[in-house]
Amino acid sequence: MTSTISHTRRFEVLIVAITLLFAGLASASASANLPRHAVLGAGVAENNGVRVILIKPGSAADRGGLQVGDVIVSVDSVKIQTSSEFVSRVKGLTTRHSVDFQIRRGNAELSLPVKLDAAADENDPLVRTLYQTISVDQTLRRTLVTIPSQAYGRRPAVLILGGIGCFSIDNASDPQDSYMRLAHDLGKRGFVAMRLEKSGVGDSQGAPCITVDFQSEIHSYEVALEALQHDPHVDRRRIYLLGHSIGTLIAPRLANMRGAAGIIVAEGVGRNWIEYELSNLRRQLDLGGEPPAQVDAKLIAKEICMHRLLVEKEAETEIERTQPECREHNSYPASASYMQEVAALNIAEPWTKFSGPLLAIYGTGDFVTTHDDHRRIVDIVNTLHPGSATLMLIEGMDHHLDVAGTQQQAYDLRVKQQSSGPYDEALSHAVLDWLCQRENCIATVGSGATRNLISSGHE
C-alpha cells in the first residue's frame, strides 16, 4: 500500500482484508436458518502470495502459530493463490476440527493445525441483539437487530446502510466497532436498529461480496427494510434510514422507493463520482506531502485510468496491459460493475425527490469526504423543502466515525501509522438528539461527548 489513498477504499483495503477473515468462516452451531460463523483472527493481502498482514492477539490464528509475514500455501491440502480463494476455502470449514494451514515462512515450509474459534454474540445488559435472517434472491443473509431491553410495544427504528467494501458488521469482539456502538446506543434510547451483513460475508450466503454490483446491494437493503417494516418490535411508519459513506448514495434512493420517516447521512458524497474521486485524490496527495507537479501528474493518470474503466467500461486486464499504473488507480473494494453503476449516478437527483426530514453529519477529521458535499445535500433539500434539512459538524471525527483530530492527524493515523482512534460517541449523541426531537425516547443513561458537536442548525 502506498502512503496516499485515492478514494474511500484506498484506506479501507487493510480493514477489508482483515474483516473478511475475522468473520468469514462457517460455524457448526446454528441459529434459526443460518449458522453462525467461526473466527480465525487473521488478515491477509496479496503481496508475493497470500500473505498474513495481521494477527489478532489471543485469536485462533495466534494460538495456532500463524505469524505476520507468513505466506499461505494451502488450507487442508487445497492450494491457495489469491486472498479470495483463501476466504472461499475457509468459509466452509467448521469449529469441529483443526484446519491444516500449510505456510511458507522465509525459506521454510510449515504445517500448522489451527482450531477455529466460535463467533461471539453481542452482549449488552441494556439491549438485546437478535441474529435473524432475510432471504435475498434465494440466499439467506444475516441481519443483526438490536432492540431495547426496557421498552415495549412497537418502537421507532433505524436501518444502518454501511460503507463500501466487504467488511463484516458482526464484530462483537471489537468494543470500538462503530456500527455496533451506534446500534447499541440507539437501542438504549428506545430505538430498534438493524444492520445487514453483505452477500458472502460473515454468516451471509450469496455470491462473494467483491463480485456484487451496486444495484444488487441496494436491493439487499430494500429486502432488509421490508423485513424491518414487518418486525413485531417496530412501528413501520417510524423507520429512519442512516447512510454512512457509500450508504449516503443508497439512503435517498431507498427512501424514495420504500418510504422513510427521515434520513440521516454521515461522511457521505454529495457530487458525482468522478468529480468526487479526483478531488479526493488531490486532497489526500496533498496531505501525504506529494510535490505539486507529482500531484498533477497522478491526477492526469487517475482521470485516464478511471475513464477507461468506469465510463468506457474496458476490461481491467486490457487497461492494465497498456497502462500498468492503472492497477493502482483503479483499485476498488467492489466489482467493476459496482463502480460503473456508481459512476453513472446523478447524485443530486434523488435528493430533489426527498421531502422528509434530513440530518447530514460531517466529521471535521474526515479526509475522504468534504464539508461542502454535505452542505450541498442540505441545500438541495432545503431549497425545495425549506427548514427540513440540518447540517451538523462533529469536531475531530474521521470517516470511520472515530476520534482522530484534524484531517492531517487522521491521515497520518490511518495511512502512515495504519491505526485508528476510538469510536466517537459524539456521533451517537448527534443522531439521538435529532431523533429524540421527533420520537419518544427512553431517558438517557450517562452523558458526555456532546462537547464535540460544534455546529448545528438549518443551513
Contact present, 401 and 423 (Cβ < 8 Å): yes
Sign of CA dihedral 320, 323, 327, 332: negative
Reading the chain (459 residues) residue by residue, the pLDDT tens digits are 233 333 333 333 333 333 334 433 433 333 447 888 878 888 898 888 999 999 989 999 999 999 999 999 999 999 999 887 887 777 667 676 789 999 999 999 999 999 998 888 999 999 999 999 999 999 999 999 999 997 789 999 999 999 999 989 999 988 999 999 999 999 999 999 999 999 998 899 999 899 999 999 999 999 999 999 999 999 999 999 999 999 999 999 999 999 999 999 999 999 999 999 999 999 999 999 999 999 999 999 999 999 999 999 999 999 999 999 999 999 999 999 999 999 999 999 999 999 999 999 999 999 999 999 999 999 999 999 999 999 999 999 999 999 999 999 999 999 999 899 999 999 999 999 999 999 999 886 544 444 344 443 443
CA-nearest of 192, 269, 176 to 224 is 192
Question: 24-118 has which CATH code?
Answer: 2.30.42.10
Model pLDDT, residue 87: 77
Q: Is 429 helix (H, G, I), strand (E, B) or coil?
A: helix
Q: What is the number of H-type helices and E-type strands within the chain? A: 15, 18
Q: How far apart are CA 396 and CA 246, in angstroms?
A: 21
Residue 346 in grid coordinates: 446523478
CA-nearest of 24, 6, 19 to 117 is 24
Q: Which of the 8 DSSP states describes residue 26?
A: E
Q: How far apart are CA 58 and CA 56, in angstroms?
A: 6
Q: How far apart are CA 171 and CA 180, in angstroms?
A: 8
Q: How far apart are CA 372 and CA 116, in angstroms?
A: 46
Contact present, 224 and 199 (Cβ < 8 Å): no
Which residues contact residue 191 at a Cβ distance below 8 angstroms, ignoring those fewer than 6 apart? 148, 155, 156, 157, 158, 435, 439, 441
Model pLDDT, residue 11: 33
Q: How far apart are CA 240 and CA 350, in angstroms?
A: 16
Q: How far apart are CA 172 and CA 131, in angstroms?
A: 12
DSSP letters, 315-329, are -HHHHHHH-TTHHHH
Amino acid at 12: E
Instruction: Characterise 153 by phi-psi region: left (phi > 0), alpha (psi -120 to 50), beta (else).
Output: left
Model pLDDT, residue 2: 30
Q: How far apart are CA 358 and CA 389, in angstroms?
A: 5
Q: How many CB atoms lie within 10 A of CB 307?
A: 14
Q: How far apart are CA 163 and CA 157, in angstroms?
A: 19
Judge residue 154's burial from the number of C-beta atoms within 10 Å of its C-beta, 0-12 exposed, 13-18 middle, 19 or more buried. middle
Q: How far apart are CA 312 and CA 59, in angstroms?
A: 45
Q: How far apart are CA 269 and CA 86, in angstroms?
A: 33
Model pLDDT, residue 7: 36
**160: enclosing H helix or E strand:** strand 155-161
For the chain, domain boundaries: 24-118, 127-271+345-455
Topology (CATH) of 127-271+345-455: Rossmann fold (3.40.50)
- 388 bridge partner residues: none
Model pLDDT, residue 21: 45
Q: How far apart are CA 134 and CA 285, in angstroms?
A: 42
Q: How far apart are CA 97 and CA 28, in angstroms?
A: 10
Model pLDDT, residue 173: 84
Amino acid at 311: V
Sign of CA dihedral 376, 380, 381, 383: positive
Judge residue 235's burial from the number of C-beta atoms within 10 Å of its C-beta, 0-12 exposed, 13-18 middle, 19 or more buried. middle
